[in-house]
Structure formats: structure tokens, C-alpha cells
């Protein structure tokens, strides 16, 4: 299965699950880690890892354990919720921003004083 350039919207649920397994397997092999070693590091059974990589048994807790063991938790950043500021809100905030500096009270010239 090609793990690159997917049109995720068109994939079936089972194909997406297989892709998660392929992702874990790809990175496990990239790091030259055996199934047994990764399973031990993730605190799961080797058979659970094998089933996960094949896409036959997927559990979110297992997925997180595997990401942690492979030092890939940063991939979850794609799921971080970020507040979007609308252009209208941004414009309103910019209206309140000071446009120029004014003299401080110490710098205000006294009228009629001529040195």
C-alpha cells in the first residue's frame, strides 16, 4: 500500500486503519527496531503490534503507545485545535492599537516659558 500522497477523503475506514499500521511499520523499520523490541518498549504484546501493523486490530491507546515508543508523538500536532481569528476580529483589534506616540506629561511644554 502506498503510504504517500493519499486522498484521505476517498479512502474506506479499513484502508485508513491499514495506513495507520503501515505508518507504524514504516517508522519501526526506519529506526531498525524489531517487533519484539518495539512491543516491549510500548508495553504491548508482539502479536498486538503485528495485528496493528496489518490493520486488523487498531486501538487508539495502542496507537499512542506506539507513537510514544517510536518518539513520534509530535505527529499528533496535526490534531491540535487552534483558535482562528476572523479578519473582522483582527480589524477590530487593530483599530484599538495606538497609531502614534504622544508626549509624556514630563515632555509637555509650559506656555510662556522662554529660556
Domain that holds residue 50: 14-76
> Tell me: the pLDDT tens digits for 81-95?
888 877 887 777 777
CATH number at residue 58: 1.10.260.40
In a domain, residue 28? The reply is yes
With respect to residue 96, please indicate whether it lies within any of the assigned structural domains: no
Tell me if 61 is assigned to some domain: yes
Kindly tell me the sign of the dihedral angle through the C-alpha atoms of 72, 73, 74, 80: positive
User: What per-residue confidence (pLDDT) applies to 1?
Assistant: 46
Rg (CA), the chain: 28
Statement: residue 98 has pLDDT above 90: no
Q: What angle do CA 87, 91, 97 make, to 5 degrees?
A: 145
Count up the domains in the chain and report the number: 1
pLDDT band for 107, please (50, 70, 90 cuts).
low
Q: How far apart are CA 115 and CA 109, in angstroms?
A: 12
Mean pLDDT of 58-67: 93
22 pLDDT band (50/70/90 cuts)? very high
User: Would you say the pTM of this structure is higher than 0.75?
Assistant: no
Residue 4 lies in a domain: no
Amino acid at each position: 500500500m502506498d503510504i504517500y500522497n493519499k486522498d484521505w477523503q476517498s479512502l474506506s475506514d479499513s484502508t485508513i486503519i491499514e495506513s495507520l499500521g503501515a505508518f507504524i511499520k514504516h517508522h519501526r523499520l526506519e529506526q531498525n527496531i524489531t517487533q519484539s523490541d518495539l512491543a516491549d518498549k510500548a508495553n504491548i504484546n508482539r502479536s498486538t503490534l503485528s495485528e496493528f501493523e496489518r490493520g486488523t486490530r487498531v486501538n487508539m491507546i495502542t496507537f499512542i503507545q506506539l507513537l510514544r515508543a517510536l518518539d513520534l508523538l509530535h505527529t499528533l500536532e496535526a490534531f491540535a485545535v487552534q483558535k482562528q481569528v476572523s479578519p473582522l476580529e483582527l480589524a477590530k483589534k487593530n483599530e484599538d492599537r495606538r497609531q502614534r506616540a504622544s508626549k509624556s506629561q514630563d515632555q509637555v511644554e509650559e506656555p510662556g516659558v522662554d529660556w
